Amino acid sequence: MCPAWGVFCVLQCGVEQRRSCAAVRQAAAWCNRGGPISAEPRINDRIRVPEVRLVGPSGEQVGIVPLAKALELAQEYDLDLVEVAATARPPVCKLMDYGKFKYESAMKAREARKNQAHTVIKEMKLRPKIDPHDYDTKKGHVVRFLKQGDKVKITIMFRGREQSRPELGYRLLQRLAEDVQELGFVESNPKQDGRNMIMVLGPHKKKTEAMAEAREAQAARKAGRQPQEEQKQEQEQERNDAPAEAS
């Protein structure tokens, strides 16, 4: 066997051994890592302080008491001892039904997300020599976006020789702004951006107002459909009863 080959095998084995050792150390370090930091407050036996500033179930101030005394009061009231201010000295704890508290907090967060309004910028692209029918279609989309409380970015795309006639795009943007002035206003005046001309329209209504009106309209439609459905059911019932009476 070649001596050089033997030396190569020894070196290669050393490299593989070092790699395996590094992998083992990395795996051990990964296993010893702590879990993710919990955002949940500490409750009952998880509280590890000698004394706490206790708040009663109705919000009354009980004062600074030993932890054992606070846990005893929680058992008497059949409630949980919840740490509400961990950074205070001593920490502030309150007697409450923690399960009910979590449920109410989740419902409030859900309602807040439901009513939260996100600013959305829609985009509509036009050509300087747009067909009248296409213009009406595009304008309808812009009207719908503004009614929903969204901003609209209008882009005029120039091609070829159209770039030498920017006034065509400017007049088209002015026309569109006048046609939708009851629903929106020009937030950003037309400006040239390379081959395009851009204008931004902002809605008069806020997003939250538009969402509220949409929910009211949906509820009204449902309320209007219900009597119609009841009337249809009564008519079907009358038709079904008619053959029986005739017989």
Domain map of the chain by residue range?
A: 44-98, 121-207
Q: Copy the structure tokens of residue 60.
A: 């009354």
| Contact indicator for 133, 163 with CB cutoff of 8 Å | no
Angle, to 10 degrees, between the axis of helix 132-147 and the axis of helix 166-179?
50
Q: What is the pLDDT along the chain (247 residues), one digit of tens a residue?
A: 455 445 444 445 554 555 565 665 665 555 555 445 557 788 898 888 999 999 988 888 988 999 999 999 999 889 999 998 888 889 999 999 988 888 888 888 887 776 665 667 899 999 998 999 999 999 999 999 998 888 999 999 998 888 888 999 999 999 999 999 999 999 999 998 888 999 999 998 777 677 777 777 777 777 766 566 666 666 666 666 655 444 4
Q: What is the model's pTM? A: 0.45
Q: How far apart are CA 125 and CA 154, in angstroms?
A: 6
Domain 121-207: assigned CATH number: 3.30.110.10
Q: How far apart are CA 202 and CA 116, in angstroms?
A: 19
Q: Is 39 helix (H, G, I), strand (E, B) or coil?
A: coil
Homologous superfamily of 44-98 in CATH? Translation initiation factor 3 (IF-3), N-terminal domain (3.10.20.80)
